[in-house]
Structure 1
Amino acid sequence: MHGLLETDNSIEQCLAEVVQYQMPAALRRLFATLLIYCQPNNPRFLWDKFYASLSEDYAFASSGIAASNLAGGRTSNSRFKIPLDIENNPSSQISKQSSLAELIRACSLIIWDEAPMAKRNSIQYFENTLRDVYSSTELFGGKIIIFLGDFRQVLPVIPKSTLQEAINSSFVMSPLWPQLERIHLTVNMRATRDPAFCNSVLSVGDGSHPYENGKDVKLPRPIVISAIEESILIEQLIDSIYPDIQQISTNPSVTTERAILTPKNDDTQMINSILVSRQEGDAFIYRSFDEAADIATEQYPEEFFNTLQPNSLPPHQLVLKINSPIILLRNLDSTSGLCNGTRLIFKAFDRNVIDAEIEVE
């Protein structure tokens, strides 16, 4: 769901459609999602109406903490209670007697992915927290910690900061950094079939790639598509990346192993429209409910809102076909892998429901 449902009637229709083919466990997850993101006016009415379908074969876990923590990962802020405003919250937020502290002490290994994007004060806060939880003066409380990441990628995001300020906030500038053992991975397992391209990308990240005018990177000729007209260029790009888009129904790798990246939402929408039109099968169209959020914007017609494509929201008109790839734009259920950015495959549809499964590479 996109969180754009207009009335409780739409939510009721959504549940009515889903009960026809989903098991109770999936229905309960959907019901919870609707309560959080769609905020129905009368949740009790919905619960009473669909109680039989929601409660059939209902089961309880012996431990709520164990049930919620066994599957999937967590963000560092949520798992270790790292506040966003560390300067005003310097002390650990985890009680030594809490279940979370007990869980941390039971861990034999903690892995922090995308560490280069973390601010150094967050990692220092994390280190102090572990010392407190373990009542130890050892580094990270004596726990084995693995920080993963590539410093060729994005540095910590500091709003309105200079490059030097972003660098100063990074992990490598922390007093903890010299105390760590650094292990370098040298083989890109996803690019073993194209070592020339892999080496070219690495050279750009290392700063050793030849630059033009001191700033422009010259791309290798084999990956450049040249055309006089932009419309022809887009068609050539699509033909080169998805030459067999018609086979998507029988060959999922057509979408799982390829992607076209664009800097603007308008370009994304245009390319998506072309790709969906080339797929075999009937198209199904979903449209959002757009309305003004305050009095100041009520002067604009609804048609104007329909033309806008703000970040983190789907287009007003979403056209899909069976086996079309889609991307989730919200963290709905992290334990089930349904997070912002999760790629799914469109499998079935109703008027108020999209049935999709997580894409497996």
Structure 2
Amino acid sequence: MPVIGHKESMIFFVDGPGGIGRTSLYHIVLATLSKTNHIAIATATSGIAATLLPGGRITYSRFKIPLTPDASSICSRSKQLDLAKLIRRATIIIWDEAPMNMRFVNDEEFTEFIQRIGDGNELFIMDDLIKLPPSMAMQWEGQHSIYNLIDQVFPSLQEHANDARHMVDRALLTPINDDVELLNAKIISQFPRDEFTLHSFD
């Protein structure tokens, strides 16, 4: 790593769709620096992403970033604290999922909830499980709940099916591909026109 060897300051932005290996890259960088006694700080905007990094912490908690930042905002960390000294000595700071700042800025309740988790102040139920606030969860009422979820994320789907901006500003995320296929099938079935398939090849 020439930049580290020459003690230069530089910012790198790693971008790309899910599955290209960003997390693996971060693991390699962190392991390499650790072996050579460098200090590396690993953070992520979301809690899930933070757990995937060795020693990962939520960025807003780690640096005490204000919940509603503006052009004059500063992080509330005293320069005399041990963490401030650690940051000054760090060779690298990794911030995964940096674009998630958009959700933090626009959703105050979500921001405060994530902050409590990052600070360790959110109550655990059992086995380190955290109960989502009612405003962030839906009551399960069988398969009909799936359509309720779709309606919440994609309201008036048939009316907005041809509105690209309406569609790209919304997304449903799932941990397994089977759920992706289930949701895709149910959503596509609600589009107003006949379905057709386009094939691609290398």
TM-score by length of 2: 0.56
C-alpha separation in 2, matches of 1:189 and 1:239 = 23
Q: CA deviation at 1:207?
A: 2.1
Change (3 A) 1:155 1:264: closer
What's the secondary structure of 2:114's corresponding residue?
Answer: helix
User: For 1:192, which of 72, 82, 105 is the aligned residue?
Assistant: 105
Matches within 5 A, 1:6-85: none
Q: What is the aligned partner in structure 1 of residue 65 from structure 2?
A: none
What's the secondary structure of 2:110's corresponding residue?
Answer: helix
User: For 2:139, which of 191, 216, 226 is the aligned residue?
Assistant: 226
Q: What is the aligned partner in structure 1 of residue 149 from structure 2?
A: 237
**Cα distance per residue 1:102-144 (max 9 Å; x no partner):** xx98x9734265789435332357x89xxxxxxxxxx9xxxxx
Q: What is the aligned partner in structure 1 of residue 185 from structure 2?
A: 273
Change (3 A) 1:123 1:279: farther
Q: CA deviation at 1:148?
A: 7.3
Q: What is the aligned partner in structure 1 of residue 120 from structure 2?
A: 207
User: For 1:253, which of 165, 182, 199 is the aligned residue?
Assistant: 165
What amino acid maps onto 1:118 in structure 2? H
1:122 pairs with 2:20:
no
Q: CA deviation at 1:253?
A: 2.7
Q: What is the aligned partner in structure 2 of residue 109 from structure 1?
A: 10
State whether residues 245 and 279 of structure 1, in contact with CA within 8 Å, keep that contact through their aligned partners in structure 2.
Answer: yes
What amino acid maps onto 2:33 in structure 1? I
C-alpha separation in 1, matches of 2:12 and 2:168 = 27
Q: CA deviation at 1:240?
A: 0.7
**Cα distance per residue 1:181-222 (max 9 Å; x no partner):** 87x99x944332320122112222332111223632121111
What amino acid maps onto 2:167 in structure 1? T
State whether residues 41 and 90 of structure 2, in contact with CA within 8 Å, keep that contact through their aligned partners in structure 1.
Answer: no
C-alpha separation in 2, matches of 1:227 and 1:149 = 33
Change (3 A) 1:110 1:195: closer
Change (3 A) 1:123 1:252: farther
Q: CA deviation at 1:269?
A: 0.8
State whether residues 211 and 217 of structure 1, in contact with CA within 8 Å, keep that contact through their aligned partners in structure 2.
Answer: yes
State whether residues 122 and 130 of structure 2, in contact with CA within 8 Å, keep that contact through their aligned partners in structure 1.
Answer: yes
State whether residues 203 and 209 of structure 1, in contact with CA within 8 Å, keep that contact through their aligned partners in structure 2.
Answer: yes
What amino acid maps onto 1:231 in structure 2? Q
C-alpha separation in 1, matches of 2:123 and 2:151 = 29
Change (3 A) 1:154 1:117: farther
State whether residues 262 and 268 of structure 1, in contact with CA within 8 Å, keep that contact through their aligned partners in structure 2.
Answer: yes
Q: What is the aligned partner in structure 2 of residue 154 from structure 1?
A: 51
Larger Rg, first or second structure (1 or 2): 1
What's the secondary structure of 1:111's corresponding residue?
Answer: coil
1:216 pairs with 2:154:
no
Q: CA deviation at 1:255?
A: 2.7
What's the secondary structure of 1:226's corresponding residue?
Answer: coil
Q: What root-mean-square deviation, in Å, do the aligned CA atoms of Structure 1 and Structure 2 show? A: 4.3
C-alpha separation in 1, matches of 2:129 and 2:41 = 32
Write out the 4+ residue segments of structure 1 that deviate beyond 3 Å after TM superposition. Answer: 112-117, 146-149, 351-354
User: For 1:180, which of 81, 86, 90 is the aligned residue?
Assistant: 90
Matches within 5 A, 1:322-341: none
TM-score by length of 1: 0.34
